[in-house]
Structure 1
Amino acid sequence: MRVIVFSDSHGQIDYARKVLKGAGQVDLILHAGDFYRDALALADEFSLPVKAVQGNCDGEAGGPEEELFDLAGHRVLMTHGHLNGIDRMGNLLKKAREYEAEAVIFGHTHMPQSVKMDGILFFNPGSISRPRDQDRPSYGILEIGEGGIVPSIVHY
């Protein structure tokens, strides 16, 4: 299974469109918030399934604040991060343990991050529209198979 992960698109989805046009096989889009409706628009445009959460800039977009789901036999928690105090990773670790998640997908910081803590993957694709740590937008790819979840961050 191959998953493209976006976050913090903030209504600017031109780079995300280019990514999806050139990505080859994509089985699912994940969007970790800010803007929830961007995820729905991309899924519709590319006829792909999507899972998305709201972020702090979404207002009443109608989406969930977090999602717990299965990806090819691996339990994943997705949240934007603003409600969990992502500046303190311990809060996300506690929530991941509570849900018995193998991976946590989050956004909010606009900075990519891929780390393992206590065997749990914490993955932030950065921002596809407004990066804070560099000049280039970023997104994530999750390759999921028998070897588990293999993450990568791509700078556009």
Structure 2
Amino acid sequence: MKIGVLSDTHGSYQQSKRALEALGPCDHIIHLGDVLYHGPRNPIHASYQPAQLARYLEGKKIHFIRGNCDSDVDCMVTQQDIYHKEAFFHWGELKIYAVHGYEESLEERIQKAKEKGANTLLFGHSHKKLLEKRQGLTIVNPGSTTLPKDGSPSCALYQDGVWTFIELKETELG
């Protein structure tokens, strides 16, 4: 099973495309939110092309989680379901609880994942990569493809039972 995870693309067509190409063919792709809009606290970056990204995402088989910068119009222009703030996926040995991660603390996310019977917690929002085991859960934050707060744009990949980060070549994002 191969699962690609990206988050916080914030309207960057170039970085979103780069992430999906780097992930390659996947059985499932999950986008953890903040798809098109740059958000009021983020700079308008050089690769900000939300209309082009919306067209690019049309018809792609991606599971979307709604982030704090996502709106109903994002669903309309991408023709994607970006309405759900959380999701539970059960694929083989993986039981994934996925959320953007802005309405609750990490401890609250962990508790909810455990209540749902998950063995993996996926979240975004912080724009910082995280991969750790805690309380019987594998916790993964893929970082941000576009506006990383830890120095490098990234996404995450699950393959052959192992989670890894893919560092993305950075475009001029300023």
Is TM-score (shorter-chain normalized) higher than 0.5? yes
Does 2:165 correspond to 1:139? no
Q: In the TM superposition, what are the counterparts of 1:3-152 in structure 2 within 5 Å?
A: 3-35=3-35, 41-42=56-57, 44=59, 47=60, 49-60=61-72, 61=74, 62-85=82-105, 89-134=106-151, 136-143=152-159, 145=160, 149-152=161-164
- Give ranges in structure 1 of 5+ residues lacking alignment: none
> Take 2:167 and 2:71, find their aligned partners in 1: how far apart are those partners?
28
Structure holding more strand per residue: 1
The answer to whether the 8 Å contact 2:9/2:15 transfers is no
Letter in structure 1 aligned against 2:156: G
The answer to whether the 8 Å contact 1:4/1:139 transfers is yes
> Take 1:100 and 1:65, find their aligned partners in 2: how far apart are those partners?
18
Change (3 A) 1:91 1:40: farther
Q: Percent identity?
A: 29
- Give per-residue Cα distances to partners, 1:17-73, cap 9 Å, x unaligned: 1233344432221100101796894363xx5x2211100111334510000111224
> Over aligned residue pairs, what C-alpha RMSD do you find?
2.2
- Give ranges in structure 2 of 5+ residues lacking alignment: 37-49, 75-81, 169-174
Structure of higher CA gyration radius: 2
Change (3 A) 1:22 1:118: closer
The answer to whether the 8 Å contact 2:23/2:157 transfers is no
TM-score (norm 1): 0.82
> Take 2:113 and 2:22, find their aligned partners in 1: how far apart are those partners?
32
> Take 1:97 and 1:129, find their aligned partners in 2: how far apart are those partners?
30
Letter in structure 1 aligned against 2:2: R
